[in-house]
Amino acid sequence: MDKDYPIVDLSLAVSSVRFFTDTLFEVKLTSPTPLPKIHTGQFVQVQVPGRSDVFLRRPISIYKHGEYELSLLIQVVGKGTAGLAEAKPGDHWQVLLPLGNHFREPSGQKPLLVGGGVGIAPLLELGNHLKAKGIPPTFLLGARSSTLFPELDEFESLGRLFITTEDDSRGELGYVTDHSILHSEAFTDVYTCGPTPMMKAVAKWSKAEGLPCQASLENLMACGMGVCLCCVEPTVAGHKSVCTDGPIFDVNELLW
Ligand SMILES: Cc1cc2nc3c(=O)[nH]c(=O)nc-3n(C[C@H](O)[C@H](O)[C@H](O)COP(=O)(O)OP(=O)(O)OC[C@H]3O[C@@H](n4cnc5c(N)ncnc54)[C@H](O)[C@@H]3O)c2cc1C
Ligand code: FES
């Protein structure tokens, strides 16, 4: 991918924090100057403020962005994300951005965007991008329970929305790959982000259907800049750094 934009380390002001569950929240960050150009699917590395026991920055997808503002959707899983959850309006976060490659354009007019858990975050921006290009996205989102989905109306405003839940609280029962839409409609492209087992199942279905599929990987990272090699993923062309060669890969490149 052409690196036609700079990577910058900015001090961004927390303008709002909104919790959807005890452990899932959206934080809005604002910049006094225009943000660098951000491509759909890119991520940031956030320094966890006020936590001397969390040295490394944490990679987080860009959930929404404008010229001066971006927002992140964060699930607390450990001490870094727990530190981020302590954010208050007026705080400042040190954020490295924009990082990684971006989603490639679809080959056809009927893309399917499949997300699970907090992996739905980069799919909202992608849906926005596709809608703006006149290509209506179809979302298929899965979660353990309907209470764990944030802002479904935002997804619904961009295209059709289909849901699966493991407790049958909304949509169809089961995993995303169980949804009847996969058998009743034809799609041209598949994009996926979420837990690795889910993405592998989506990749397997896409390959069986002969559909191009792009997956956004969430490997553990440290530097986020292609230096430490702790995020490498084996591919048909050898090991690749998810932070710089990815996070988005054509699933045919992966040894899944
Ligand atoms: C490109 C990219 C985009 C991401 N986007 C988001 C996002 O939009 N929102 C969000 O909430 N999270 C996202 N993540 C995951 C997020 O970076 C991790 O959850 C976070 O770094 C964990 O830090 P921690 O200190 O809270 O947890 P740790 O204390 O480091 O780990 C706690 C537990 O979570 C596991 N864990 C840590 N990182 C990951 C990971 N990447 N995948 C699976 N398990 C992990 C650890 O193995 C451990 O079991 C993204 C990761 C990548 C690489
Ligand atoms: S995180 Fe260091 S090389 Fe990718």
CB distance 235 to ligand 1 below 6 Å: no
DSSP readout, 119-162?
GGHHHHHHHHHHHHTT---EEEEEESSGGG---HHHHHTTSEEE
Task: Please provide residue 144's backbone torsions phi and psi, each rounded to the nearest 5 degrees.
Answer: -65, -40
More confident residue, 12 or 2: 12
Query: What is the predicted pLDDT for the residue at 2?
Result: 46
Q: What percent of the chain has pLDDT over 90?
A: 95
Which atom number of ligand 2 is nearest to the Cα of residue 222? 1
HSE at residue 132, side-chain half, CA atoms within 13 A, is 8
The ligand with the least distance to the CA atom of 241 is 2
Amino acid 214 reads Q
Q: What is the pLDDT of residues 81-125, one digit of tens each?
A: 999 999 999 999 999 999 999 999 999 999 999 999 999 999 999
Least Cα distance to 114 among 48, 52, 206, 25 occurs for 206
**CA nearest ligand 1 atom 47, residue:** 220
Q: What is the pLDDT of residues 191-213, one digit of tens each?
A: 999 999 999 999 999 999 999 99
**CA nearest ligand 1 atom 51, residue:** 218
Q: What is the pLDDT of residues 58-84, one digit of tens each?
A: 999 999 999 999 999 999 999 999 999
Tokens of 219: 């490997």
pLDDT at 4 over 60: no
CB distance 173 to ligand 1 below 6 Å: no
pLDDT at 52 over 90: no
The ligand with the least distance to the CA atom of 224 is 2
The ligand with the least distance to the CA atom of 216 is 1
Q: Which of 3-12, 20-29, 227-236 has the lowest mean pLDDT?
A: 3-12
Query: What is the predicted pLDDT for the residue at 1?
Result: 47
Query: What is the predicted pLDDT for the residue at 155?
Result: 97
Cα angle 226, 232, 235; round to 5: 120
Helix (H, G, I), strand (E, B) or coil at 207: helix
Residue 169's Cα: distance from chain center in Å? 24
Amino acid 227 reads V
Cβ of 247: how many Cβ atoms within 10 Å? 27
CB distance 59 to ligand 1 below 6 Å: yes
In total, the chain counts a number of residues equal to 256
Q: Which of 4-8, 114-118, 175-179, 199-203 has the lowest mean pLDDT?
A: 4-8
Q: Tell me the CA–centroid distance for residue 204 and ligand 1, in Å.
A: 24
Which atom number of ligand 2 is nearest to the Cα of residue 59? 1
Across 31-59, average pLDDT:
93
pLDDT at 5 over 70: no
Query: What is the predicted pLDDT for the residue at 237?
Result: 96
CB distance 246 to ligand 1 below 6 Å: no
pTM for the whole structure:
0.95
Distance CA 133, CA 146 (A): 30
Distance CA 92, CA 50 (A): 11
